[in-house]
Amino acid sequence: YFVSDTVLKERLDPETLESLGLIKQAQQFNQKIVKIKTKLFYKQQKFNLLREENEGYAKLITELGQDLSGNITSHLILENIKSLIGCFNLDPNRVLDIILEVYECRSDQDEFFIPLIKSYMCEPQTLCHILGFKFKFHQEPNGETPSSLYHVAAALLQHNLIELEDLYVHLLPLDPFILEEHKKEITEAKQIARKLTMVLVPSEKPDEKEKEKEKEEEKNEKPPDNQKLGLLEALLKIGDWHHAQSIMDQMPSFYATSHKSIAVALCQLLHLTVEPLYRRAGVPKGAKGGLMRPLRNRRAPRPAETFDELRKEVFSMLCYLGPHLSHDAILFAKIVRLGKGFMKEFQNESKQDDKEKMDTLLSCFLSIADQVLLPSLTLMDCNACMSEELWGLFKLFPYQHRYRLYGQWKNETYNSHPLLVKVKAQTVDRAKYIMKRLTKENVKPSGRQIGKLSHSNPTILFDYILSQIQWYDNLITPVVDSLKYLTSLNYDVLAYCIIEALANPEKEKMKHDDTTISAWLQSLASLCGAVFRKYPIELAGLLQYVTNQLKAGKSFDLLILKEVVQKMAGIEITDEMTIEQLEAMTGGEQLKAEGGYFGQIRNTKKSSQRLKDALLDHELALPICLLMAQQRNGVVFLEGGEKHLKLVGKLYDQCHDTLVQFGGFLASNLSTEDYIKRVPSVDILCNQFHTPHDAAFFLSRPMYAHQILSKYDELKKAEKGNRQQQKVHKYITACELVMTPVHEAVVSLHPPKVWDDIRPQFYATFWSLTMYDLAVPHNAYDREVNKLRLQMKAIDENPEMPPNKKKKEKERCTVLQDKLLEEEKKQLEHVQRVLHRLKLEKDNWLLAKSTKNETITKFLQLCIFPRCIFSAIDAVYCARFVELVHQQKTPNFCTLLCYDRVFSDIIYTVASCTENEARRYGRFLCCMLETVTRWHSDRAIYEKECGNYPGFLTILRATGFDGGNKADQLDYENFRHVVHKWHYKLTKASVHCLETGEYTHIRNILIVLTKILHWYPKVLNLGQALERRVHKICQEEKEKRPDLYALAMGYSGQLKSRKPYMVPENEFHHKEQPVRSATPANLQNGPGSAGKTAATATNAGKPEECATEETDKSKEKSQGTVKAPSKTNTLTTKVTTSNGNSAPNSTKAVKEKEDKEKSGKEKNKERKEKTPASTPEAKVTGKEKPKEERPGKDDKAREAKEKTPKADKEKEKLKKEEKPSKEDKLKVSGNTEFKSSADKEPSKERDVAKEAKVKEMSKGEKAAVTGSLKSPVPRSETSESEREQKRRKLDTHSSPSHSSTVKVSIA
């Protein structure tokens, strides 16, 4: 054969082979082939069940379970396994399964089994399927997957023997189910929170209980294990962070770590990772700490050696851990200490390259604090130590960073996790429980409860407490006392919460009536003051907040600064000071502290030091001062447009008072160097910073005092001399050295024309001195010393006090007494030096290049008026300074004119004041009146203090005071007339203000009148007139404006109590005026006299005849705008009766009029018979004489006549006539002298006749206006009476508020 049978059988089909005879039957052959193929390809020779080949599997298990401590390697075992498979036909997959089972049982033998599995199995997919099958076996209900299986899977994942994606699909529960569960948890947490804040109706409660039972039953059916979390835990335990992170990324935030086992495993991994760095940079001095054994696993995260290495894995691990770091307080402390270590390095770092790295690390630590540390603290149960530990890190951050963290913590963190939502609700619930029971009596136990609650959740607790305080201000004291158990971190959080509450945009800072500041803001301000004083809380944030509000043009929040300074520094600002307190405030610092404030100031040293440090460290002292000074006008011109006038006044006062208080604090607490370094010169303050002049000098004044004293001490040390004269000389030299630059600086503050009348030296002297420099309050010192002596006596007599305490108290009193006496002695020496300096300076103070009147105007305008309303002490200072300038016999200073201008024109000043300014202005007038009343009370005092002084000259020569001519002086009786005229002017102005109906006018004049009550009114009829008018205000305002009613009632009551001290007019000054050899003038008897026949002729007293006609003209110009409406008002107002009511409105008033007309006529006749120069009893309210009181044709005719152009023509004519008359006076004599009353009497009689003819043109109040100069050259009686008549016509047209000033003529 060419081809063998075998080949043919392989290649040819069975039928062909059968035909060839190679096989017997084809069918049989086919069956045989199938059998062979089945045997070859489909019959299994391997055994995959233990019972099929138990010997082989038994040997395999023995092989894998043997002791592996010797020289046995995975390679050797693998060879044995192969032999067993071959020998016993073991199924390789089953062998692999058994290897994994043994590995599970011996999970500590990773180093043996991992290489074995890697060598045995090259297909990851098969291995993954076997593992998946194992996991599915445990997925039955109530099934529990063994931890060893998780460990095996984790180890295989870590060594990349399987892929996570392949295994993940075999694990339960599925991701959508996890997400749904998470949402369910959040919903449940919110429901719990809602339940805690809701008030349940009793009928609803049983249903709720049933629902809770159902939920508990559901929970009893335990779902299968969460295999994904089990695997995650195993991965974390072996240090496979990469795969663990991948699993956590598949789940909602913090879902994995919310399970304690996961969180603890991650914490353990973090411990190991940060250990080396913690040992180097985090362990506190003296602490040892337990060493951590590192993982033997080389694939675990590498331990961090430097801060930069923390960025690799530690920070991300912490972020995944989140609030659940709370499970490991030790790790919490380690992270915080690492933060502290980093901050030390950060603060010392100077290189630019490293700085960028450090900034990145700083932002990382801040993120960790935000996302991990603070939320973890929330979940820690009352751990004060952790709170203090965290503060150790936080205090190294600037307050801006800290407050940002607190803001996130309070407003966002609590919504990020269901557990935190529950904690928040529980905290609020507990806070409510505590606050409901908090009283003054149980402060201590309640405080402990608040402390415990605050250690973990301060933001939520304080938010609730502050909300309660805003509603109930009586909680402030118990709350402040109960906060003593807080940690440092909690105090800082409290500061933030207060600022956030203050800045709440949803809260209105005004009440609904828009006239007062809201109660919630006042309550928070009070809380601020009390809390910041009592506890060591950082002030920077609060001060910066106030500064920012001022920058934004908002002045409401100055209330906070005011309270903080008052409580922390003990500097109280009030215009309701008693006379004794005001007196004490003019002394030294010790006297101020002891007697100057309502509350006894104790133990403010530490708190004021903290406030000072906060201001200096953050450079806020000067900016706050400047912003407040600028904001005063801003309140009126920027904020005030839409606000109620009353509120604008309050805000202005608040701004001003806070400036005074804050400036006082800086002056008394800053060292000389600090103060001088921070406060620029006065010209820079005014010109560059646009600070008002009064505020600029207020800030600069302490600086000048410091500089003068330090310079004086230098000079004393340089040249030792104990003689008093030498000391005074050195003091004056020191003043010159310090003040000369100031004199030069102030020149730029005003136009050059100003300095024609007053010199810069005088201006600077006035603004730089204080009451401390002018007088020693001996009475105040004596009062306080006596108090201390009485205290010591009481201590001695107290038998209950322990001896030790007695000794301490007595020592304290003795030390205080010595300090006060020393301070008094020191002030006395200082005042003597200052007065000596002023005596030397006074001759160069006033130049008077224009007129004396201009000089006084500028003095009042630029010095007195701005400063007298600055503060209560400044008001007293201004009055005393005027008196001092008079006493020093200052050339070119007319005291009489100065006082006249002050008392004559108070309407406009009063009307333009705020409430507090009105109080100060009233105090100023009170002091001025006190001086005037003293001079008025006794001829001897007058002669001694005014008799031969240039200020009381009635003739003012350009050459100054020669002091030789006694006739040029105002005598005592005429001075009494002048004082009466001033009282009348005050009455007229007061009545005018009370009659306007304007809120500000009425309020301010009542405040002023209350302040000057001790010295005014002194004349009975003036007091009665005021009483009637005030009574009418009480009736009118009772329902409309309660605050005005309260003021008016208060004043009315006090006025009645002063009635016994009032005197009739003829006792206040002699109506029959004395005739002197030097032809003295007659002075008007009183305002609004009933018999006006002689009033206008005798109108001019001595001071009225010592001013030029220019005064009236200049005043008319300056008051022109105000006059017009006042004039119309006067002309259209009904004639009022003496009880203050309008005639048409009261039948009683008409009866009174008729009675008074009769009595008035009778009095007229009697007085004319006695002397034409005298006037009858004055009717003060500026009303007509009896004939004119009848509203009839005469009135109408007069009013019509006044309104006609004819009256205007007469005015012009009068002006023309006045000019030549003035010239005549100047030509005839260089001096102005007074005409005798004898010369005037005939003209007065003619005046009466003329007055009847012109239908009584002159009203009573107008007749009180001062007369003009009388020429020493006798004129005809007719021309004299004509001039007087025309002057009365002019007076008729003047405003009721217009008051003529003292008139001066210059030779």
Q: In what helix (H) or strand (E) does residue 787 lie, and over which residues does it extend?
A: helix 778-797
Greatest mean pLDDT among 567-576, 1047-1056, 1256-1265 lies in 1047-1056
User: What CA–CA distance (Å, rounded) separates 1125 from 755?
Assistant: 34
Of 930, 862, 939, 938, the C-alpha closest to 899 is 930
Give residue 965's pLDDT. 54
What is the rounded CA–CA span in Å between residue 780 and residue 597? 13
| Whole-prediction pTM | 0.73
pLDDT digits (tens, 9 = 90+) for 705-734: 887 887 777 777 776 655 666 777 778 888
Question: Which phi and psi angles does 517 have, rounded to 5°?
Answer: -75, 140
Beta-strand (E) ranges in 1090-1206?
Answer: none
The tokens for 9 are 């059988």
Averaged confidence pLDDT in the chain: 76
- The DSSP call for residue 41 is I
Residue 714 to residue 706: CA distance in whole angstroms: 12
Beta bridge partners of 1089: 1178
- Give the pLDDT of residue 368: 94
- For residue range 493-526, list pLDDT tens digits in order: 999 999 999 988 877 776 666 667 788 888 998 9
Task: For residues 45-51, give the mean pLDDT.
Answer: 76
Confidence class of residue 1264 from pLDDT cuts 50, 70 and 90? very low
pLDDT the model gives residue 165 = 93
pLDDT at 1105 over 50: no
pLDDT at 1266: 34
Say whether pLDDT at 1085 is over 90.
Answer: no
Q: Any bridge partners for residue 781, and if so which?
A: none
Residue 334 has pLDDT above 50, yes or no: yes
pLDDT of residue 335: 94
Query: In this predicted structure, what is the pLDDT of residue 1274?
Result: 37
**Quick one: pLDDT at residue 351?**
60
By mean pLDDT, which of 496-500, 842-846, 966-970, 1281-1285 is the weakest? 1281-1285
Region of 239 on the Ramachandran plot (φ > 0 left; ψ -120 to 50 alpha; else beta)? left
Q: With 80 as the cut, is the pLDDT of residue 1174 above it?
A: no
Q: State the pLDDT at residue 464.
A: 92
**Cβ 423 vs Cβ 370: under 8 Å:** no
**Does residue 1001 carry a pLDDT above 50?**
yes
Q: With the CA atoms of 850, 851, 855 and 858 taken in that order, what torsion angle do they form, in degrees rounded to the nearest 10?
A: -70
State the DSSP string of 1006-1061. Answer: HHHHHHTTTTS--BHHHHHHHHHHHHHHHHHHHHH-HHHHHHHHHHHHHHHHHGGG
What are the structure tokens assigned to 655, written together?
Answer: 């701004």
Q: Give me the mean pLDDT over the 6-26 stretch.
A: 87
What is the token pair recorded at 1175? 């006037």
- List the structure tokens of 818: 């010595």
Comparing 96-100, 624-628, 852-856, the range with the smallest average pLDDT is 852-856
pLDDT of residue 641: 63
pLDDT tens for each residue of 192-215: 878 776 654 444 444 555 555 555
Give the whole-angstrom CA distance, residue 606 versus residue 534: 10
Contact 84, 63 (CB under 8 A): yes
The pLDDT of residue 801 is above 90: no
Whether 161 contacts 124, CB under 8 Å: yes
> Exposed, middle or buried, 260 (CB in 10 Å: 0-12/13-18/19+)?
exposed
Q: pLDDT-based confidence at 956, cuts 50/70/90? A: low
3-state SS class at 912: coil
Structural tokens at position 1117: 């110009």
Question: Which of the four pLDDT bands, split at 50, 70 and 90, describes residue 366?
Answer: very high
Angle of CA points 1146, 1151, 1157, to nearest 5°: 125
Between 871 and 957, the more confident residue is: 871
Q: Which residues pair with 517 in a beta bridge?
A: 510
Instruction: Provide the percentage of residues in the chain whose pLDDT is more than 70.
Output: 76
Work out the end-to-end distance of the chain between its first and last CA atoms, rounded to an integer number of angstroms.
173
Residue 152: what pLDDT?
94
Main-chain dihedrals φ then ψ at residue 170, nearest 5 degrees: -85, -10
- Distance, in Å, from the CA atom of 540 to the CA atom of 458, rounded to the nearest integer, reads 20
Most confident of 389-398, 769-778, 958-967, 1255-1264: 389-398
Tokens found for residue 581: 């307190």
**SS in 3 state form for 110-140?**
HHHHHHHHHHHCCCHHHHHHHHHHHHHHCCC
- Measured distance CA(860)–CA(869) in Å, rounded: 12
At 287 the pLDDT is: 77
Residue 1142 phi, psi (nearest 5): -75, 145
pLDDT at 1146: 37
Q: Which residues contact 1025 (CB under 8 A, 6 or more apart)?
A: 987, 991, 1138, 1140, 1179, 1180, 1181
640 pairs with which residues across the strands? none
Which spans in 842-871 are helix H?
852-859, 865-868
Q: Is 382 or 1218 the better-scoring residue by pLDDT? A: 382
Euclidean distance between CA atoms 1112 and 903, whole angstroms? 16
pLDDT score for 835: 87
How many residues does the structure list for the chain?
1307
Q: Within a 10 A sphere around the Cβ of 1134, how many other Cβ atoms? A: 12
Please check the confidence at residue 270 and state whether its pLDDT lies above 90.
yes
Dist. CA 7–CA 820, nearest whole Å:
138
Burial, 1255: exposed, middle or buried (Cβ in 10 Å; 0-12, 13-18, 19+)? middle
Which of the pair, 1208 or 505, is modelled with greater confidence? 505
Taking residues 433-452, what's their average pLDDT? 90
Which two three-digit tokens encode residue 1102? 């001595």
pLDDT value at residue 727: 74
Token pair of 638, please? Answer: 């920027």
Cα–Cα distance between 1001 and 1009 in angstroms, integer? 12
Is 1191 within 8 Å of 1144 (Cβ atoms)? yes
Could you give the CA distance from residue 988 to residue 1000 in angstroms, rounded to a whole number?
A: 17
Looking at this protein, which amino acid is placed at residue 828? L
Structure tokens at 255: 């879902």
User: What is the per-residue pLDDT across 1184-1194, written as a single tens digit (0 to 9) for each?
Assistant: 333 333 334 34
Please give the C-alpha separations between residue 991 and each of 72, 910, 912, 1042, in angstroms, as whole numbers.
Answer: 120, 13, 17, 20
**Assign residue 759 a region: left if phi > 0, alpha if psi is -120 to 50, beta otherwise?**
beta
Banded model confidence at residue 837, pLDDT cuts 50, 70, 90: confident
pLDDT of res. 1303: 37
Q: What are the tokens at 830? A: 């200082």
Among 732, 734, 695, CA closest to 711: 734
- In DSSP terms, which residues pair with 1063 in a beta bridge? 1019
Q: Which DSSP symbol is given to 221?
A: S
26 vs 10: CA distance, rounded Å? 14
Strand positions, DSSP E, 250-328: none
Return the biggest CA–CA distance within the chain.
191
Supply 1200's token pair.
Answer: 């019509």
Residue range 1088-1098: mean pLDDT, rounded: 33
Q: How confident is the model at residue 489 (pLDDT cuts 50, 70, 90)?
A: very high
Rg of the Cα trace of the chain?
A: 50
The 10s digit of each residue's pLDDT in 145-165 is: 999 999 999 999 999 999 999
Q: Report the alpha-carbon distance of residue 226 to residue 240 in Å, rounded.
A: 19
Whether residue 780 has pLDDT greater than 90: no
